[in-house]
Amino acid sequence: MKVRTRFAPSPTGPLHMGNARTALFNFLFARKEGGVFVVRIEDTDKERSSKAWEQDLFSNLQWLGLEWDEGPMGGGSGEKGKYGPYRQSERTEIYKGYLEKLLKEKKAYWCFCQPEELEAQHQDQASRGEAPHYTGKCRALTKEQKERNLKEGKPAVVRFILEPKKITFKDLIRGEITFDTSLSGDIVIAKDLQTPLYNFTVVVDDHIMQITHVIRGEDHIANTPKQMLLQEALGFPSKLQYAHIPLVLAEDRTKLSKRHGDNSTTRFKKEGYLPEAVINFLVLLGWNPGDEREIFSLQQLQKEFSLERVHKGGAVFNLKRLDWINGFYLRQKDKKALALLAIPFLKEAGLLEENGNDKQKKFFLRIQKSQPYTIKKTGEGIGLEFLAEVVALYQERLRKLSEFPELADFFFKKDLEYPKELLRWKDITEEELLSSLTKSEELLSFVEEGHWNKKTLEQILLKQAEAMKDRGTLLWPLRVALTGKKASAGPFEVAAVLGKEKTLQRVKQAKAKLQ
């Protein structure tokens, strides 16, 4: 039988990282087994579901490269797959048929108990040390009573009779799990015939959509026995296999939630984490390869992933690890590719503008030499080459792209603002400082444009610096003059990328601050 997995999010909020991991595990397991990955939108909660959140889901799945075989198409109209519609809100009639079947077969019944009454009951049970559950009161209503109530339009819900028994299933990650359903009362499966609820719709859909493996968060374990009893009641063969994946925990080892800050996938995308890094990070939240390796591509994971290697214990969401993984992928990039990735962040920071429309831009990039970008503050046109040189300076230390504008902003400014004290190396006097900058200026002005590169600059400046009793005396003021920063890339690299004219101009500006 062909493996069919499903990712069944509710579009009631952004796709958070925990859910993205559930999607990933379903995707990987399907791919590994040569199966089918289905995306089903569980939007039965009409008030809380929205198209905007649905769009957020789809665009993030696409960004991560988790292509689905069946489901709504990219969120727009239309869908792929023969078991649709893949949005629960479009399947009301299907559910209605099954609800009516259960009611007719007396496996479910109308319940007219009101919230206040139920609340009082629950409190009473709690005071006796019992777990709150429904007593089954409306099960005993006569046919006449029930019909009268319905005719009078009394608010009612549909309850499913949860036969008290022990249910055991074999979880692919946790092994055998047994539940005693006598502890929970009959469950509500629909608010009315048009408004079925999660435990019910999920059972109907997993059956109709021929799902073979339910891979979902551990928080759904307690739903499984209910869903299994519903399958039985509906006459669906019980061939579903379950795998409950471990909770994602915050560093404080409690379940990761909004309380710990924004955990949406969009946030990580916006901060400049690469999709391949996010995938790599997410898979390690619960899965391990059984050896020391930490770096995995999506492609590789499709071959290596297995549920046997998913552990039971909670998986801690460690941002430092994500930074480390992201840094690794950033370093793998060719510097032009990295520059292209950094451009949106420079634009966002108000440092760069793109000229022309997309078509022109592609043309500019193809002919390489042109200047498809403008430095906003100076109006200067620049090419990708220049940006590539700038990002290359930070490639080794960058953890995420959003850090880049702040690190490199001095390349995109006309005048640098910094306190003149920053220029001072240790306790050198103002005169020594001035003469250090003058020395740099002198040496640099002799370098011909054609030889203006890191190597030459390093040779010349280092030679001079080593001749002084402390090389910082020459190199620190120069670096600050060029960058305006306490910490930055080194003076040779920066000068090489800035070019002769700007370098000399900045040294002059620094000197002017002292005079």
Torsion of CA 123, 129, 131, 135, to 10 degrees: -60
C-alpha span between 429 and 426 (Å, rounded)? 9
Nearer to ligand GLU, 56 or 389 (CB): 56
Q: Does 10 bind ligand GLU (CB under 6 A)?
A: yes
All residues at 6 or more sequence positions from 164 whose CB lies less than 8 Å from its CB, including other chains: 180, 181, 182
H or E element that contains 455 = helix 454-467
Residue 420 a catalytic site member: no
Q: How far apart are CA 232 and CA 403, in angstroms?
A: 55
Quick one: 213 or 506, whose CB is closer to ligand GLU? 213
Measured from the CB atom, the residue of 38 and 437 that comes closer to ligand GLU is 38
Beta bridge partners, 458, equal none
The whole-angstrom separation of Cα 433 and Cα 382 is 33
- One residue of 4, 5, 9, 37 binding ligand GLU per CB under 6 A: 9
Nearer to ligand GLU, 42 or 79 (CB): 42
Query: Measured between alpha carbons, how far is 136 from 134 in angstroms, rounded to an integer?
Result: 6
Question: Nearest CA to 408 among 391, 388, 433?
Answer: 391
Q: Which stretch binds ligand GLU (CB under 6 A): 6-14, 69-77, 324-332, 389-397?
A: 6-14
Smallest distance, ligand GLU to C-beta of residue 199, A: 9
Binding mask 430-469 for ligand GLU (x = CB under 6 A): ----------------------------------------
Phi, psi dihedrals of residue 66, rounded to the nearest 5°: -95, 80
Residues binding ligand GLU: what is the number (CB under 6 A)?
Answer: 7
Cα(108)–Cα(230) distance, integer angstroms: 10
CB of 13 to ligand GLU, least distance (A): 10
Using CB under 6 A as the binding rule, whether residue 39 contacts ligand GLU is answered as no
| Euclidean distance between CA atoms 478 and 34, whole angstroms | 60
The DSSP secondary structure of 324-339, one letter per residue, reads HHHHHHHHHS-HHHHH
Q: From CA 258, how far away is CA 141, in angstroms rounded? A: 44
Q: Does 42 bind ligand GLU (CB under 6 A)?
A: yes
Q: How far is the CB of 348 from ligand GLU (least distance, A)?
A: 31
If the CB atoms of residues 213 and 399 are measured against ligand GLU, the closer one turns out to be: 213
We find the least distance from the C-beta atom of residue 204 to ligand GLU, in angstroms, to be 12
With CB under 6 A as the contact rule, which of the stretches 4-12, 60-68, 320-328, 402-410 interacts with ligand GLU?
4-12
Q: Which is nearer to ligand GLU, 66 or 495 (CB)?
A: 66
Can you state the percent helix, strand and coil of the chain, rounding each to 5? 50, 15, 35
Strands annotated E in 154-264: 157-160, 166-171, 175-180, 187-192, 195-196, 213-217, 241-245, 248-249
Do 460 and 495 touch, CB atoms closer than 8 A? no
Q: Does 8 bind ligand GLU (CB under 6 A)?
A: yes
Stretch binding ligand GLU (CB under 6 A), from 3-11, 99-107, 124-132, 395-403:
3-11
Stretch that binds ligand GLU, among 5-13, 111-119, 337-345, 367-375 (CB under 6 A): 5-13
The answer to the question of residue 255 lying near ligand GLU (CB under 6 A) is: no
- CA–CA gap between residue 62 and residue 386 (Å, rounded): 31
Q: Which of residues 202-231 bind ligand GLU (CB under 6 A)?
A: 202, 216, 220
Contact flag: residue 172 with ligand GLU (CB under 6 A): no
Q: Give 113-121's long-range contacts (Cβ < 8 A, gap of 24+).
A: 113/137, 113/138, 114/155
Nearest to ligand GLU of 9, 484 (CB atom): 9
SS3 310: strand
Rule CB under 6 A: is residue 84 a binding residue for ligand GLU? no
Catalytic residue among 51, 165, 258, 463: 258
Q: Which is nearer to ligand GLU, 216 or 479 (CB)?
A: 216
Report CA 91 to chain centroid distance, whole Å. 29
Q: One symbol per residue from 276 to 315: x for binding ligand GLU (CB under 6 A), - otherwise; what is it? A: ----------------------------------------
Q: Nearer to ligand GLU by C-beta: 220 or 335?
A: 220
User: Quick one: which of 179, 182, 178, 177 has its CA closest to 163?
Assistant: 182
State the residues that interact with ligand GLU by CB under 6 A.
8-10, 42, 202, 216, 220
Query: Hey, which residues are catalytic here?
Result: 258
